[in-house]
């Protein structure tokens, strides 16, 4: 009996068992296009119907309940943004907003932080809007994915104060203003105190530390004017 067990637990047997399991993991039932193609489209239709019902009847009304304004037209996708802190939000008409984003207001200041969003604004996937005092997005602003508007840092620069868990100081925070028709590419970071002029485009991955004039393409770290745009 012991000999039989050792034989079945031999390296050759274990390797054979692993190979069999690997084949099972990679196997699947045959694809029948006449069946599976209609089934795929039915799956998408059911999924989109459920998604639409959740967005229109659940997520969007809850999100609007947290706004100072009441837009009549709003396209909210993939749930609703995470709202942190005591943030006053004004939202314009016909905006398109990804629910996979975070909007937060600084909690240590005397004034309530304000997020002011104009009409026809896109706020993309994984955006973070950190409002120190005020962030203003004028009409037709476009924010791509993974953008960070850093109106406050969250920590002081002094290491001992940071170790004690003290908040950032008033000198570290500032307004951010994106003027009409500004477009920020994927991964852009805009620091506190910055204004980006009307119609300007910021290249993907740039870090904006100073004001950018109107009608230019800017990029880099720190962002600099690359060329003037024909508007």
* Catalytic center residues: 155
Which residues are paired to 74 by β-bridges? 95
The encoded tokens of residue 189 equal: 């970071």
| Distance separating alpha carbons of residues 52 and 175, to the nearest angstrom | 36
Contact call for residues 7 and 13 (beta carbons, < 8 A): yes
| Distance separating alpha carbons of residues 206 and 147, to the nearest angstrom | 10
Give the residue from 83, 143, 73 showing the smallest Cα distance to 113. Answer: 83
Own/partner contacts of 151-155, CB < 8 Å, gap of 24 or more, are 151/106, 151/113, 151/175, 151/176, 151/192, 152/106, 152/192, 153/192, 154/130
């Amino acid at each position: 009996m012991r000999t039989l067990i050792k034989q079945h637990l031999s390296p050759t047997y274990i390797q054979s068992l692993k190979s069999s399991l690997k084949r099972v993991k990679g196997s699947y039932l045959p694809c029948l296009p006449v069946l599976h193609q209609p089934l795929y489209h039915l799956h998408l239709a059911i999924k989109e119907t459920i998604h639409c019902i959740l967005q229109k009847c659940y997520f969007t009304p809850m999100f609007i309940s947290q706004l100072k304004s009441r837009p009549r037209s709003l396209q909210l996708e993939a749930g609703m943004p995470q709202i942190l802190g005591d943030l006053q939000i004004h939202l314009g008409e016909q905006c398109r907003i990804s629910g996979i984003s975070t909007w937060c207001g600084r909690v240590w200041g005397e004034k309530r932080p304000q997020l002011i969003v104009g009409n026809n604004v896109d706020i993309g996937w994984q955006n973070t809007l950190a409002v120190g005092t005020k962030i203003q997005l004028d009409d037709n602003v476009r924010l791509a994915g993974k953008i960070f508007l850093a109106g406050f840092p969250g920590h002081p620069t002094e290491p001992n104060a940071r170790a004690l868990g003290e908040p950032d100081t008033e000198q570290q925070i500032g307004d951010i203003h994106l003027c009409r028709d500004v477009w920020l590419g994927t991964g852009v970071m805009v620091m506190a105190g910055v204004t980006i002029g009307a119609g300007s485009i910021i290249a993907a991955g740039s870090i904006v530390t100073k004001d950018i004039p109107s009608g230019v393409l800017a990029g880099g770290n720190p962002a600099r004017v690359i060329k003037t745009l024909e508007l």
